[in-house]
Amino acid sequence: MFKRLATAAVTAVLIAGLGACGSGAEVKENGPDRSVRTGQGSGGATGTPRPHASATADATVFGLRDDIRHRAARTTRATRPRMTKKCTTVTRRVRHSTSSGSGKKRHTRTWYSTEHSRTCKRVRSGTETYTRVVRREQWCVSLDDVDGNARRDDVWYEVSRTTYDAAVGTDRHARLDFTPRHEGC
């Protein structure tokens, strides 16, 4: 728990520090706590928005942080066949012989030994209960003005835990850049 809090704190300090490093020409104020980067970050020097990029694994999106949501994993109890390992030991008698001499003086010596072999296979032995994951854990971030398009508001993205922790450390309507896992959450 402490490690997560420390990571979130360090991330928040880095984001705040990097946000403070921008020059005054790059940041335009749109109210008391809204800031939007213009220039290179929004599609070029003219300030025209970038065309919409689909949320693929390598497409970075940016926008104003709207809301965040953490969806815990949902599990249920289920049953499945219980497979156990059943082994059987088989013994067999093996005949061995050696011969010595030749002609009428030929002598054959015979003896027997027992060889053990073990065979194992998995067999069903009743049922067992286990925890089945119905829905995996998700971290989600909602953006307004996605990729500089003012009409694309309230777009949800599923993100990594690191990106979610960084978004928690920012204010609402702060600019975020990240690569989502996929759109929708």
Condensed to tens digits (0 to 9), the pLDDT of residues 22-75 reads: 544 333 333 333 333 333 333 333 333 344 444 444 688 998 888 899 999 999
- Same domain assignment for residues 111 and 93: yes
Mean pLDDT of the chain: 77
Residue 39: predicted pLDDT:
35
Q: What is the 3-state secondary structure (H, E, C) of 59-124?
A: CCEEEEEEEEEEECCEEEEEEEEEEEEEEEEEEEEEEEEEEECCHHHCEEEEEEEEEEEEEEEEEE
Residues 93, 141, single domain; the answer is: no
Half-sphere exposure of 166 (CA within 13 A, CB side): 18
Rounded-to-integer distance, Cα 181 and Cα 178, Å: 10
Same domain flag for 8 and 62: yes
Q: Whole-angstrom Cα distance, residue 173 to residue 154?
A: 12
Task: Give me the torsion for CA of 16, 185, 34, 46, rounded to 10°.
Answer: 100
Instruction: Indicate the pTM of the whole model.
Output: 0.45
Selection from 135, 140, 136, 137 nearest residue 163 by Cα: 140
Do 11 and 64 lie in one domain? The reply is yes
Q: Does residue 45 sit in the same domain as residue 82? A: no
Same domain for 68 and 145, yes or no, is yes
Which are the contacts of 179, defined by CB distance < 8 A and separation ≥ 6?
57, 58, 59, 60, 61, 163
**pLDDT tier for residue 93 given thresholds of 50, 70 and 90:** very high
Domain of 61, in residue numbers: 2-72+137-183
Same domain, 60 and 90: no
**pLDDT grade for 94, boundaries at 50, 70 and 90:** very high
Residues 154 and 65 in one domain: yes
Q: Give the end of a domain, one of 93, 113, 132.
A: 132
Number of domains comprising the chain:
2
Q: Are residues 101 and 153 in the same domain?
A: no
